[in-house]
Amino acid sequence: MSHDWWKQAVFYEIYVRSFHDASGDGIGDLGGIIERLDYLNDGTPRSLGVDALWLTPINPSPMFDFGYDVSDYTAVDPLFGSLGDLDRLLAEAHRRGMRVILDLVPNHTSHLHAWFVESRAARTAAKRDWYVWRDPAADGGPPNNWVSSFGGPAWTFDAATGQYYLHSFLAEQPDLNWRNPAVVAAMEEALCFWLARGVDGFRVDVIHKLIKDAALRDNPPPDERDPHPLRDYFGQRHVFDHDQPEVHDIIRAWRRLLDRHGDRMMVGEVYLLDPARVAAYHGVADDELPLAFNFSFQWTPWDAAQFRQRVQEVERLWPAGAQPTYVLSSHDAPRHATRFDDPVHGDARARVAALMLLTLRGTPFLYYGEELGLRDGEIPPARICDPVGKRFPALGRDPARTPMPWDASPQAGFSSGEPWLPLAADWRTVNVAAQRDDPTSLLSFYRRLLWWRKTAPAVLYGSLRVLDAPQGTFVYAREGGGQQLVVALNFTAEPRALQLPGGGRVALSTQAARAAQCDAALTLAPNEGLIVEAAAPPRRPWHDAAASVSAQEI
Ligand code: GLC
């Protein structure tokens, strides 16, 4: 049984611009978050009950990529508040028993960061080698064929000094040269600065991209295993521009640094499609990332067999002792209420999804507003802010970043000014005030689930065993701390008969009408998710019974 807090915690991602605006300029800020802390966790089941907050970048930034282009690593952008506000937020969150982690963006800086300004000043500049500069190819073009994640070449020519610089994202986000020890030392200073202020850890942006091939070799063309080339980024295999072996040395050093500061953690964004590659970032001796994001649910359609497969992959591939993570929504992808939209059954799928997310073996990450069933907003072309959306409207990330709807007052209680992005279309009904006192609301369901989870040792510490189950369902046992649970999820809109290893007490169901006890033979209602707790320890552990489960399909 591990007592690392981040293994038992439920994290809540706050897209800071969109959570709550206290200053009235239409952009969310730290003061706004402080005002809403009681909503997140006031120590009672009246509140949501999350354990840790991840704040998207709050550093000064010219906002070409909305904070993921940092111009000063040890300050707070005045748009969001001040260092004093952050201190207050940390104190207020800690007082309520919540941890706070900050977003660290080490792969690239803003082109306006003093380091880059100095680096681009001259080929002989002291900081020239802090970034990746190269001469043009023989034909005058970029040094190699690498493509930016946001489209177009990953190189921009700097006429003043006659060389190209590398940028994995926008030209306004030059990549730092992580083979330069001075860069490693400078970022370590930034980490220590925030740790000394009392932050509980970091979400580390695109950590797998820090190191590139030393010889900057061309990426090879794609093969049939690669995803459809939706954008030019997928028109090549990313063999040399990320996921290089030397990145693990940097991560190990950060892990040692965090460990020296006690109870701190980091969760790395390892945005790789192959789960085995993601798993590798925990390190062979569990000495690298304490947590790595596993985004696989974000690209899984509403299908029980596919979710089961994603979970089995994690169970198979994650090194022993390493803690998995699960994510349904984030600031980079369409919201799952939209992806799994079912106009006939309302938020039934969102409930099943929540039950799954919060009972798997791993640390769950919620995204602000998912507890309300918030859907993607409609962004008129003239209001597109996201640089990806400007280049590829169908892939824009603004729809998932609309302001949190707090109530039905003007601007949804988000701001007294004009919000930086339009409110989601159904904000008058999908908002906190409308759901808070309604025991049947999705918000109330999340609250029940989150507060129940804190009391369930099998979920917090236990093993997971996938059970045989009829087509369209996903059923697993969680066992630990003297507790035995079965979670049964029906992904279909029809009833499904199941044979569980035993009957028991219904700890939670997405169906209000479900009785408090159930037998081993039971029928899941359409779109029902259910947690059953063994009434008394069965003669054999439930997972041993898996082989004998012979549920029939109706
Ligand atoms: C990560 C962030 C994303 C950002 C990109 C560049 O993927 O989550 O929002 O645009 O890195 O920093």
pLDDT of 554:
24
Q: Which of 114, 34, 36 is nearest to 73 (CA)?
A: 114
Is the C-beta atom of 243 inside 6 A of ligand 1?
no
Q: Give the position of tokens 């067999």.
A: 305
C-alpha 443/C-alpha 393 separation (Å) is: 31
pLDDT of 228:
56
Q: Which of 68, 167, 208 to mutate to test the pocket of ligand 1 (most atoms within 8 A of CB)?
A: 68
Is the C-beta atom of 80 inside 6 A of ligand 1?
no
pLDDT of 235:
86
Lookup: tokens for 355 = 């039950």
Distance 149 CA to ligand 1 centre (A): 9
Lookup: tokens for 467 = 């059970």
Is the C-beta atom of 64 inside 6 A of ligand 1?
no
pLDDT of 186:
98
Active site residue: 51, 69, 77, 269, which one? 269
- Ligand 1 atom nearest residue 107's Cα: 12
The CA-atom distances, in angstroms, between 457 and each of 35, 188, 481 are: 32, 36, 5
Is the C-beta atom of 169 inside 6 A of ligand 1?
yes
Distance 25 CA to ligand 1 centre (A): 24
Distance 205 CA to ligand 1 centre (A): 6
Q: Which run of H or E residues covers position 387?
A: helix 387-391
**Cβ neighbours around 425 below 10 Å, total:** 12
Active site residue: 77, 103, 205, 288, which one? 205
Distance 107 CA to ligand 1 centre (A): 10
Distance 394 CA to ligand 1 centre (A): 17
Q: Catalytic annotation on 205? A: yes
Q: Which of 103, 110, 169 to mutate to test the pocket of ligand 1 (most atoms within 8 A of CB)?
A: 169
Instruction: Name, in order, each residue with C-beta under 8 angstroms of 192's C-beta and a sequence gap of 6 or more.
Output: 257
Lookup: tokens for 484 = 């035995």
Minimal-distance CA residue to ligand 1 atom 4: 68
Q: Catalytic annotation on 135? A: no
C-alpha 241/C-alpha 456 separation (Å) is: 43
The sign one gets for the Cα dihedral 116, 121, 123, 125 is negative
pLDDT of 1:
54
Is the C-beta atom of 288 inside 6 A of ligand 1?
no
3-class DSSP assignment, residue 394: helix
Is the C-beta atom of 395 inside 6 A of ligand 1?
no
Q: Which of 65, 209, 397 to mutate to test the pocket of ligand 1 (most atoms within 8 A of CB)?
A: 65
Minimal-distance CA residue to ligand 1 atom 3: 332
Distance 269 CA to ligand 1 centre (A): 9
pLDDT of 103:
98
Q: Tens-digit pLDDT profile for the chain (554 aa)?
A: 567 999 999 999 999 999 999 999 999 999 999 999 999 999 999 999 999 999 999 999 999 999 999 999 999 999 999 999 999 999 999 999 999 999 999 999 999 999 999 999 999 999 999 999 999 999 999 999 999 999 999 999 999 999 999 999 999 999 999 999 999 999 999 999 999 999 999 999 999 999 999 999 999 988 776 665 556 888 899 999 999 999 999 999 999 999 999 999 999 999 999 999 999 999 989 999 999 999 999 999 999 999 999 999 999 999 999 999 999 999 999 999 999 998 888 899 999 999 999 999 999 999 999 999 999 999 999 999 999 999 999 999 999 999 999 999 999 999 999 999 999 999 999 999 999 999 999 999 999 999 999 999 999 999 999 999 999 999 999 999 999 999 999 999 999 999 999 999 999 999 999 999 999 999 999 999 999 999 765 545 554 444 333 333 22
Which amino acid makes up residue 111?
H
pLDDT of 404:
98
pLDDT of 544:
44
- Ligand 1 atom nearest residue 150's Cα: 10
Is the C-beta atom of 386 inside 6 A of ligand 1?
no
Strand partners, 292: 268
Is the C-beta atom of 398 inside 6 A of ligand 1?
no
**Cβ neighbours around 262 below 10 Å, total:** 8
Distance 510 CA to ligand 1 centre (A): 34
Minimal-distance CA residue to ligand 1 atom 6: 68
Is the C-beta atom of 205 inside 6 A of ligand 1?
yes
pLDDT of 231:
66
C-alpha 176/C-alpha 184 separation (Å) is: 10
C-alpha 242/C-alpha 240 separation (Å) is: 6
Instruction: Name, in order, each residue with C-beta under 8 angstroms of 347's C-beta and a sequence gap of 6 or more.
Output: 337, 373, 442
Is the C-beta atom of 54 inside 6 A of ligand 1?
no
Is the C-beta atom of 154 inside 6 A of ligand 1?
no
pLDDT of 232:
80
